[in-house]
Structures are given as structure tokens and as C-alpha cells.
Amino acid sequence: MEWILPLQILHITSLFIYIQLIIFISTNYLFENRNKLLVILTSNLALWSFCKIFLHNPATPLWLAIFFDKLSSISWIFIPPFFLILSFFLINKNLNSFKISLILLPSIIFLIYNIFSNFHTVIKTDYGWFSTFTKSLSTYIFAAYYIGYIAFSLFLLKKYCPNNVLSKKQINLVFYYTLIILCIIILLKLVFIFFDFKDNPLTDILNFYFLIWTIGIIYANIKYHFLGFSPTQTFKIILSELNEYIFILDEEFNITYINQSALKSLGYNESEIINQPLGKIINENQIFNKMVKDLLKNKLITGYDINLKTKNGFIIFTNFSANAITEKEKFIRFVCVATDITERIKLHNEITKNLEITQKYLNFAPVIFLILNNNGKIVFINKYGKKIIGIENDAEIIGKNFFDNFILDEEKENLKNYFNKLLEEPETKTENENYLIAKSGEKLIIHWSNIVLKDENNKIYGILSAGIDITEKKQSEIALKESYEKLLELDKLKNNFISIVSHELRTPLTSIIGFISLMRGGAAGKLSKDQYEYIEIMKNNAERLLKIINDLLDMSKIESGRFTINFSEADIVYVINKSVNELKSLFEKKHITVSFETDVKNLTIKIDAERFMQAIINLLNNAIKFSQANSKIIIGLKLYDIEKDEIKSEIKEKLEQKKYILLWVKDSGIGMTEKQIKNLFTKFYQAEDANTRKTPGTGLGLYITKYIIESHNGFIWAYSEGLNKGSTFYILIPVE
């Protein structure tokens, strides 16, 4: 029982020292990875001390002792990997996240194994609960892992210790302290177990040994500034962070130091460039040789444009300066500083190129460039401007007042006011047109775009104007306008003439058709067979002539805006059947079979029934004309749902409602080419040649039909697989 109090005092003291060390490092030196690792490592030891306070107390119950034993295992399992990572940082070798994860992986596995197994247990003695390992394969593996990690860490510290004296002293101190502590741990923890020595306090007072190690670290900090930066380290860090390229050369111009910025830009590793001649990375030997001569002569050079060559062969433009460092007139080193000016050179080249292009454009572009000062005097004009005005040299125009010498008298006042307003209010409209008087007296119309010029103090000193000669364009516009007005007048006369002639022809023709009907009915007496045939021919030709006249009248109304659509409710099925009946005689004459295919029995919608029937009759007439005798014409009707049914993409994009009626007329006639389909609905278009066509017509029926359908907010189009393969005309109109 005499050990209880001293052991607990030891653990409490150790915990206090660990916490003080953590606070000390965290508040003063948490700027390097190695210092962060020291905080983690010391925190591990603090956790271990905390657990031991309870374990080294006989009054602690078994379940609580097991808990603190498992908790303390986090500390002693993770000490080796954390020390290995710290060793890497001490020798200035940084690790990425993946490598750190690999180092920690075995520790995580041992921790999980320890939590769920009994390879490490606690035994109660008179002076508290003490940890012990079971004799098993896992124990030997853990011992090998523990010793291996610590041994490899010590190997790294000894093998790759930096060359500078301070770093060597720092790392040697850590090395020997750790080695001594490791030997004591192995002796008291592992050897005792393997040889079945009885547990006693000496085997479980590791806090005492780790406390010695901690005091050693504190001593290293006080004596060698282990946690802080040395002047050399500080200098190297500053040089590494500089954007400029830093080279230190010996007397033979070999590189003895190069900073990280230079290494990164040149693409070399440090081992590839150290002790190599500077000329290895210089692209132009002639300039390099001159720089060396000047440096040896003057001991200082500045402002040399040197091109450095990267490992991959790329060129970096730099501005190079160098200075010879001496002490008591004895040469020590050359220090060289190179500033990357690649972007500046590229920008300079780009500006130079753009200036050349701008100069060429100013001289050769078909645009007048004119600069006027605040008094309206010409201070610059390009070659094209001089050519337009008719002068050859600057003396004839530079310094002259633009308004007094080159502007019409009637425009001078307005143009001067506009110019002054632009100077006072730069946001004024910057485009204008005016007459320009050439040297020959010719009046040119120029369109100007103007911009106010300001100096570095934001003070206006003139106006830049870009002028385009639009004389010919204006003359063409005037001529075109006159021609357009004449065409409008002629078109109006044509429409009036068609309307008057159509009316004048339709009135007597209607009477003629009426009397023909009376004669056919026997009102003028019984007709012989020949007389009846003659009357029938007269009737057919009169009706065809009446249709032509009606089409001409409809076209005239469409173009004058007098074609009316009167909507009312009508049964679309009835309208289609009535249209077919109207042409029954024509179907019978050519022995053409008509088939009306639909699942719709009746459907009432708002349309102009007369006009819609006119459109259907036009399509049926067209099908009859171009179909062979004894053929078949199909009329189809169905409800079209925009979300379910497919249709031409260019039509579908224009649809605004969901429900439509789709109607089609299909024949097996002469068919059409794509070119014919494209022009089909234009005015007076005939698919057949006018000199050789066999079917009569004016070419207005489909034009009028298209207008009627579009007046119903619908669409009409045609499809044919080619000549002699028939045609199909589609009509799509909204239900509502």
C-alpha cells in the first residue's frame, strides 16, 4: 500500500507537466507541422497519465479499471506512428495525407483488436490495477510493430539528419533521449513479461520515463530552440516563399542554392540542379558570357534580360540581377535574383502587335478617322480621310477648323452646337450624319460615330470621330424608296383592276349560268341529245370560269385585308361530308372512289363553315385534278393530342393548345418533289410547266386555302414521297 500515494503523485505531476507543455507549444510555436505533432504526442501522454491516476488506485472497481485500461491503450498504441511522423518532419520530409494514413493504419488495427480482445488485461495488486500482456502471437506481433516503428524513426533521424550544426544537435538530443527511454521500456515491460517476472510498480511507472523524455524536449527548446525557427531556417523559408528566383553561386558559377519558386518554375528537383553550372539553365550563351564578364568586373549587375530554359525546354523571360558577396575583401558567393517577366514580355508583344494592326487599320480601313481639339481644329486625319476629301499631305488640313472649311453653311450652326454639347455632356448621342465638302466641291454624306477623348486627369481634350461615306447608300435608298412607292402604287392599281374586272365578269356570268340551268331544265323547250351535251359543256366551262373569278376576288380581298372569317359553331364531320357531296359529280366523272376514315361521329367546334368548306373543296379539287381515273382518294379525321401524338417538329414547336383536329386528304396521283412542296402555297404557283401542263387552274386555290386555315389559327402542309407516288395534304386546327 506504500506505493499508492507516490504513484498517483507521479501521474498527477506528469499530467500537469504535459498540459503545461501542450499550452506552451500551442500558444507560441504552432506554426510548423513538427510542433503540431509534438502537441498530439504530448496529448497522448497526458491521456495516459490521466488513466493511470485511476488505475493505480486499489479502490477502483474492475469495470472502471477495464475502461481506463482500454482508454489508455489509445496513448501507448499511437505513440510509435506519431513519433515516426514527427521524425519525418524533423528531417524536413513532409508527408501527404495518404502516406500518413498508411503509417497510422496498423495502430488503428491494434486499437480495434485490443478493444474487442484480451491480449492486454489488468491485474489487481495491493498497490492498484496494473496492465499486462498475455502470452500470445498478437503480443509478439505488437512488440515487433512497436520496436520496428521506433527503430525506423531513430534510423531516419540518424541517417537523414540535416547538415547544419543546429539541426544536428537538435535531432541528436531527440535521438539519444528516445533511445534511452526505449531501452528502459523494453527492459521493464517486454523482458519482464517474456521471462515471467512478477509484476511490480517498476514495470508500470512509464510516466517516470516519459517525464524524463518530456523534460529533454523542454531542455532542447531552451538550449537549441528546437520548437522555433533558427536564423538559417527563417532565411530559407523567406527565400522559398519569394516569387523571385534566387540563386547562390560559387566562384565557378555553379549553383549551391536555389529557392522553391525557381525549382517549381524550371521543373527540376533540387538534386538535379545543385552543383550544376548556371549556364545549364541559360538559353542564350552570348548574353550569359557578357553577364559573367560584367559581374566579375563590376561585382554588381542589374537589369539583364536573360532567358531561362526549363527542364521541358520552355523559355522563361527574366530580368536578372547579381551581386558578389565578400567578407574582408575575400569572395564568398554570388547572389542572383531573377524576376519572371514572361507575362510582361507577352503583354508588350501583344500591345506592339495590336498597335501595328491599329496603325494599319487607321491607314487602310475604308473609314475616316478624325481628331478635333476643343476648338474644332483638326489635329489628326488618316490616309483614307485625306483621300475622301481630296488632299495629299497633312499641311493642307492639320490645324484648320473643320466646321469652317468642310461643312455646308446651312449645317454649320447645328453641327457646332452638337460638338459643344458633346464636350459638355459626354453622354450625348454620339452618332450623326452631315454633308462633307470635298476639295473638288463634291458634297458627300458622312455617317459619324464620335467619342470624347480624356487625358490622365480625366480632362476632355478633344473628340475622335469615325466617319463612313454613305453617299452612294443614301442615293440608293432614295432610289429604292421611290421604286418601292411606285411598286405599291402599281400593286394597288393591279388589285383594284382585278377586283373591278372580277366583279364585272361575275355579274353577267352568274346570269349566264342561271339561264343555262333553266335551259337544261327544259324551260325553253325540250332539248335534243346534242343540244343537251352542248349546254352541259357551256355549264361546266361557265362554272370553271366563275371559280377562277371567285379565286381572283378572294386573292384581292386577302391582299387588301378585306377577306373576312365569321366564326360560329359547326359540326366538322358534317362540313366534310357536305364538301364531298358538292364534288360528287366530279368523282363520278373520273370514277374516283372517296373514302372518309374517322372514329369521330360528330364534333362541334367554332369555325367559319363556308370558308372551311371552301378550303376542303380546294384540296379535294386538287386531288381530283392530279389523280388518275379509277383511283382512290382518302379523307381522314382524328383528334390530335400534343402530348401523345407525333407530328412535324417545326409544326409541333408552334402549337399552343393541347387539343387539335387533324384532317388529311390523300391521293395516289402524280406526287411532288421537295422543291414543288416548298413553293406549293405561294400565289399563282403551278407544279406543272405553264406551257405543257395538262390540268387547268390559276394557282390560287392552295394560296387561299392556306390563308383560310391560318385564319383559324391552324396549320397546313403537304407530303409526298416523290413523283408518281401520290400526295397527302394535312390540316391541323385547334378544338377551342
At 62-109, the pLDDT tens digits run 888 888 888 888 887 888 888 888 778 777 677 788 888 898 898 888
Parallel, antiparallel, or unpaired for β 632-641 and 593-598? parallel
Phi-psi region of 102 (alpha: psi -120 to 50; beta: other; left: phi over 0): alpha
Average pLDDT over residues 645-669: 81
* Residues 6 or more apart whose Cβ sits within 8 Å of residue 138: 113, 117, 119
- Of 231, 253, 273, the one marking the end of a domain is 231
What are the CA-CA distances from residue 475 to residues 389, 435, 482 (Å)?
19, 13, 11
* Residues 6 or more apart whose Cβ sits within 8 Å of residue 351: none
User: How open is the CA angle 672-678-682, to the nearest 5 degrees?
Assistant: 105
Parallel, antiparallel, or unpaired for β 727-734 and 604-607? unpaired
Q: Does residue 356 fall inside a structural domain?
A: no
Average pLDDT over residues 364-379: 87
Are 616 and 579 in contact by the 8 Å Cβ rule? The answer is yes
More confident residue, 194 or 333: 333
Residue 425's pLDDT is 81
* Residues 6 or more apart whose Cβ sits within 8 Å of residue 601: 573
Q: For residues 429 and 530, state if they share a domain.
A: no
Residue 635's pLDDT is 94
Q: 601 pLDDT band (50/70/90 cuts)? A: confident
Q: For residues 644 and 720, state if they share a domain.
A: yes
Phi-psi region of 442 (alpha: psi -120 to 50; beta: other; left: phi over 0): beta
Residue type, 312: N
Average pLDDT over residues 105-131: 79
Q: For residues 10 and 75, state if they share a domain.
A: yes
- The DSSP code for 425 is -
Dist. CA 735–CA 719, nearest whole Å: 23
Q: Which of 327, 331, 322 is nearest to 300 (CA)?
A: 322
Sheet containing 300-309: which strands, arranged edge to edge?
255-258, 245-249, 330-340, 315-327, 300-309
Q: Does residue 701 fall inside a structural domain?
A: yes
Cell numbers at 683, concatenated:
400565289
Q: Does residue 557 fall inside a structural domain?
A: no
- Which residues in 227-241 are b (16+ Cβ under 10 Å) and which e? beebeebeebeebee
Q: For residues 326 and 465, state if they share a domain.
A: no
Helix axes 33-55, 206-224, angle to 10 degrees: 150
Q: Which domain holds residue 480?
A: 476-547
Residue 593's pLDDT is 92
User: CATH no. for residue 87?
Assistant: 1.20.1070.10
Q: For residues 213 and 301, state if they share a domain.
A: no
Mean predicted lDDT score pLDDT of the chain: 79
At 156-191, the pLDDT tens digits run 877 777 655 555 666 666 666 666 666 666 556 555
Sheet containing 715-719: which strands, arranged edge to edge?
593-598, 632-641, 659-667, 727-734, 715-719
Q: 4 pLDDT band (50/70/90 cuts)? A: very low
The region of weakest confidence among 195-209, 500-514, 556-570 is: 195-209
Residue 574's pLDDT is 92
Parallel, antiparallel, or unpaired for β 300-309 and 255-258? unpaired
At 279-324, the pLDDT tens digits run 888 887 777 888 888 888 888 888 888 889 998 888 888 888 888 8
Query: If you count them, how many residues does the chain have?
Result: 736
Q: What are phi and psi of 495, to 5 degrees?
A: -65, -40
**Which range has highest mean pLDDT (166-170, 373-377, 535-539, 640-644)?**
373-377
Q: Does residue 526 fall inside a structural domain?
A: yes
What are the CA-CA distances from residue 276 to residues 249, 279, 282 (Å)?
10, 8, 12
Dist. CA 227–CA 218, nearest whole Å: 9
Torsion of CA 105, 111, 112, 113, to 10 degrees: 110
Q: Does residue 355 fall inside a structural domain?
A: no
Q: For residues 293 and 407, state if they share a domain.
A: no
Q: Which of 109, 116, 114 is nearest to 132 (CA)?
A: 114
Q: Does residue 357 fall inside a structural domain?
A: no
Residue type, 270: E
Dist. CA 589–CA 254, nearest whole Å: 110
Number of domains in the chain: 5
pLDDT at 224 over 60: no
Dist. CA 334–CA 274, nearest whole Å: 14
Strand segments (E) across 355-488: 368-373, 378-381, 431-437, 443-454, 460-469
Q: Which of helix, strand or coil describes residue 96? A: coil
Tell me the CB-side half-sphere exposure of residue 669, using CA atoms within 13 A. Answer: 24
User: CATH no. for residue 295?
Assistant: 3.30.450.20
More confident residue, 628 or 645: 628
Q: For residues 64 and 211, state if they share a domain.
A: yes
Could you please report the per-residue DSSP string of 123-137? Answer: EEETTEEEEEE-SSH
pLDDT at 722 over 50: yes
Residue type, 157: L
Q: For residues 579 and 693, state if they share a domain.
A: yes
Parallel, antiparallel, or unpaired for β 378-381 and 632-641? unpaired
Dist. CA 333–CA 251, nearest whole Å: 7
Residue 230's pLDDT is 47
Could you tell me the sign of the dihedral formed by the alpha carbons of 81, 82, 87, 89, in that order? Answer: positive
Cell numbers at 277, concatenated:
553550372
More confident residue, 230 or 610: 610
pLDDT at 692 over 50: no
Q: 393 pLDDT band (50/70/90 cuts)? A: confident
Residue 3's pLDDT is 44
First vs last C-alpha separation in the chain: 103
Dist. CA 492–CA 25, nearest whole Å: 99
Q: For residues 673 and 702, state if they share a domain.
A: yes
Q: Which of 405, 472, 479 is nearest to 444 (CA)?
A: 472
- Of 417, 440, 469, the one marking the end of a domain is 469
User: How open is the CA angle 337-340-342, to the nearest 5 degrees?
Assistant: 155
User: CATH no. for residue 660?
Assistant: 3.30.565.10
Q: For residues 462 and 487, state if they share a domain.
A: no
Q: For residues 53 and 138, state if they share a domain.
A: yes
Q: For residues 540 and 587, state if they share a domain.
A: no
Are 77 and 141 in contact by the 8 Å Cβ rule? The answer is no
Q: Does residue 459 fall inside a structural domain?
A: yes
At 483-527, the pLDDT tens digits run 888 887 777 766 666 666 666 666 676 777 777 777 777 777 777
Tell me the CB-side half-sphere exposure of residue 162, using CA atoms within 13 A. Answer: 16
Helix axes 572-582, 609-625, angle to 10 degrees: 40
What are the CA-CA distances from residue 505 to residues 492, 500, 511, 587 (Å)?
20, 9, 10, 28
Q: Does residue 105 fall inside a structural domain?
A: yes
Are 370 and 381 in contact by the 8 Å Cβ rule? The answer is yes
What are the CA-CA distances from residue 646 to residues 177, 642, 653, 662, 730 (Å)?
86, 8, 12, 11, 13
- Of 469, 504, 535, the one marking the end of a domain is 469
At 236-278, the pLDDT tens digits run 666 666 788 888 888 888 888 888 888 888 999 888 888 888 8
Cell numbers at 24, concatenated:
506552451
Q: Which of 298, 285, 303, 369 is nearest to 339 (CA)?
A: 303
Average pLDDT over residues 414-429: 83
What are the CA-CA distances from residue 500 to residues 224, 495, 505, 553, 685 (Å)?
118, 9, 9, 9, 23
